[in-house]
A and B are shown apart, each in its own frame.
Chain A
Amino acid sequence: MEVFIGGLAIGSIYALLAIGVVLVFRATGVVNFAQGELMMISAYAYVLAADRTDSVALQLLAAILAGAIGGLLCYVVAHVLLPTSSRIGQVIGTISLLVLLQAVARYLFTDIPLRAEPWLFGDRDVEMFGISVAANTLLILAVTVIATGALFYWQGMTVYGRAVRAVAEDPWRAALSGIHVASTLATSWAVGGALAGIAGVLLSPVVGVFPTMGVDVIFPAFIAAVLGGFSSILGSLIGGLALGLIQTYAVVTFGGTFKDAVMFAVLLGVLLWRPTGLLAATAGRRV
């Protein structure tokens, strides 16, 4: 049971990052390789804010704002600086941001991990189903589910969500029907970045804050997104949680050495068996 909850918790982090990637991909067609770095800068913002203020709300705000600003930075790179570039050019643009953000973090903070305090519950444990679970783990799960639900509502039910999808479908016609394309795109990037910010707040108490913390989780996050078909928010949530469980049980069964190998096997299996993701109805080839 502890393993199960732990797997869901790490899976939630993957899911949050994956949803951020998917959100941006749905709106713009660009895969953000710097998503992990957005998480990293928000984690730094969170720790720095914790040094200066005791208010938890301000700390959270700092982290989420940092993520959102990072997202806007990605927007500027992918759409303002590289508007005419091919998709592959825009993707490589986000790779260059990955390198730069990491370099800045290393320059400012060195490679030594900083410690982050868990908020709200500290190190308390909760008795549940006859076992004790770290309250923080449950918090991670709850936040992820709530964030996913909110996004699901935003994308599926509101006018704004429909505008985002319209822009993704055909920017030119969307503009004709009165949608401000640039701000719609920018919003998607900013929300994607904010999600990375939440992930940063949730992950940093667990592993610490260091410049390469983003690169370590971006590959699982991508797999989670692929599991969900790369364009579904709900799919990414389920994909992330499933991946977290698979990974945790693999580590428990085979040992940590095979962690990446198991994830790669999952990725290859899904890509070969169902390139459109586990949830999607068997559709034509899209990749």
Chain B
Amino acid sequence: MRLWSRHPVLCVIVAALALGSLASLIPSYRLFIVGQLAVVIMVTVALAVLMGGAGLLSLASAAFMAVGGYSVIIAMTQLHLPLLAAVPLVVLGGAALGGLLGFVTLRLAGFYLAIATIGFLQVLLQGLKHGGALTGGAYGLVMPPLELPFLPELSVESVAAIAVSLMVVTVGGAVTTMRSRIGRAWIALRDNEAAAQMQGIDVRYMKVLAFAFTSGIISLAGVLHAFLLSGTNPSTYTMSLSIFHITLVVVGGMSGSILGAVLAPLILFFLPETFSALGEWRDFFYGTILLLTLVLMPSGISAGIRSVAIRLAGPRARRV
């Protein structure tokens, strides 16, 4: 714990490299699902920061995944940018777009915001379906061969391993941000906007920043998702996908806790996918889980784990 608080960057990098190389040991048919899990965790963590941390309900997560996936392919095939230049550019662009959406919707809170984000998603989907050659219409786009300076062709397996590393970096970044001045400001404006403003927090700036932060990470996840599937298809990025992400955030706990946002995809995405147990019962499963969590565990699994952990740690920890 002390090492973490003194050298957070070092710790995150070491953990990312370690988990990434561990992941590359997994047999390749499993690695694909592991890569997808990493993508889902990234989205959930980002949304947990936005919903749980800053208290802004957004249904546009699927839209930003589409932004990431589509724009990276467009940057690489039509603008002929190298991979290493395209990805940061796309992430920055996604963050800027998210910040813009946040800025335009500044005056909206709660469900007004949710409605506006649904609108954003619908418009984007229409644009993708009717974008002609630029977006490939209803068929989407196909990923060109991925090239890195020292690796001629990047396989899906190595993309998955990279996704795992980036996921660790994201989680580390999110945890650090939530513990920083910015994260505390988000929590303050979630709990009471007027009071936060009284404390000298620039509420407008903080809201835009939350949107930009989340959208940047989700765009990166969208890039990795497109890499894993070697292409994009407009029918992937629907409102159901956004609702799925929200389900994961709710199950993880809407308290700005990152732990829950990592655990929820592990339990609700990875386990069912690994045993391919859902089939046509998918929607039933996720709908029921969402409702049950709201009823039985309104603060999510992270709160439940915390109370168990405190009980296990005994009376000494309880005093803290």
Contact = CB atoms under 8 A, between A and B. Distances in A.
Interface of A: 31, 77, 81-82, 84-85, 87-89, 91-93, 95-100, 102-104, 106-107, 215, 219, 222-223, 226, 230, 257-261, 263-264, 267-268, 271-272, 275, 285, 287
B118 A219 contact: yes
26 contacts: A31-B114, A81-B291, A82-B294, A88-B254, A91-B57, A92-B290, A92-B294, A96-B247, A96-B287, A96-B291, A99-B286, A100-B284, A102-B283, A103-B284, A106-B283, A219-B118, A219-B119, A258-B126, A259-B126, A260-B126, A263-B122, A264-B120, A267-B119, A271-B108, A271-B116, A287-B107
B48 interface: no
Interface in B280-302: 280, 282-284, 286-288, 290-291, 294-295, 298
Best-buried of A31, A215, A264 by chain B (most CB within 10 Å):
A264
Contact of B288 (A84, A100, A261): A100
B290 A95 contact: yes
A287 B109 contact: yes
Contacts of A84: 298
A77 B291 contact: yes
Given A92-B246, A268-B116, A260 B239 contact: no
B105 A271 contact: yes
- Top 4 A-B residue pairs of the complex, sorted by shortest distance between their CB atoms: A103-B283, A99-B287, A100-B287, A96-B290
Contact of B298 (A31, A89, A95): A89
Contact of A272 (B107, B243, B290, B295): B107
Given A99-B240, A267-B115, A287-B109, 4 more contacts: A99-B283, A219-B122, A230-B112, A263-B122
A253 B127 CA distance: 17
B314 interface: no
Contacts of B286: 99
A255 B120 CA distance: 19
B295 A285 contact: no
Contact of B239 (A92, A100, A103, A215): A215
Nearest to B115: A222
B18 interface: no
A216 B116 CA distance: 15
A119 to B, nearest CB: 31
B125 to A, nearest CB: 8
B77 to A, nearest CB: 23
Contact of A91 (B108, B111, B123, B291): B111
B152 interface: no
B112 A226 contact: yes
Given A93-B294, A100-B291, A272-B107, A261 B123 contact: yes
B311 interface: no
A110 B119 CA distance: 27
B294 A96 contact: yes
Interface string B121-153: 011011100100000000000000000000000
B118 A287 contact: no
B122 A103 contact: no
A139 B246 CA distance: 40
B110 A99 contact: no
Interface of A is mostly: helix
Contacts of B112: 226, 230, 271, 275, 287
Given A82-B295, A100-B287, A264-B120, A95 B246 contact: yes
Contacts of B57: 88, 91
Contacts of A87: 110
B104 interface: yes
A103 B126 contact: no
B37 interface: no
Contacts of A230: 112
Contacts of B108: 271, 275, 287
A267 B116 contact: yes
Given A275-B108, A287-B112, A261 B127 contact: yes
B46 interface: no
A37 B123 CA distance: 21
A230 B122 CA distance: 21
Contact of B119 (A31, A89, A264): A264
Nearest to B250: A92
Contacts of A267: 115-116, 119
A89 B110 CA distance: 11
Contacts of B294: 81-82, 85, 89, 92-93, 96
B115 A257 contact: no
A101 to B, nearest CB: 9
A100 B109 CA distance: 26
Contacts of A96: 247, 287-288, 290-291, 294
A234 B226 CA distance: 46
Contacts of B283: 99-100, 102-103, 106
Nearest to A275: B107
Best-buried of A96, A271, A285 by chain B (most CB within 10 Å):
A96
Contacts of B105: 271
Contacts of B295: 81-82
Contacts of A92: 246, 250, 290, 294
Contacts of B114: 31, 91
B288 A272 contact: no
A31 B288 CA distance: 20
Nearest to B238: A215
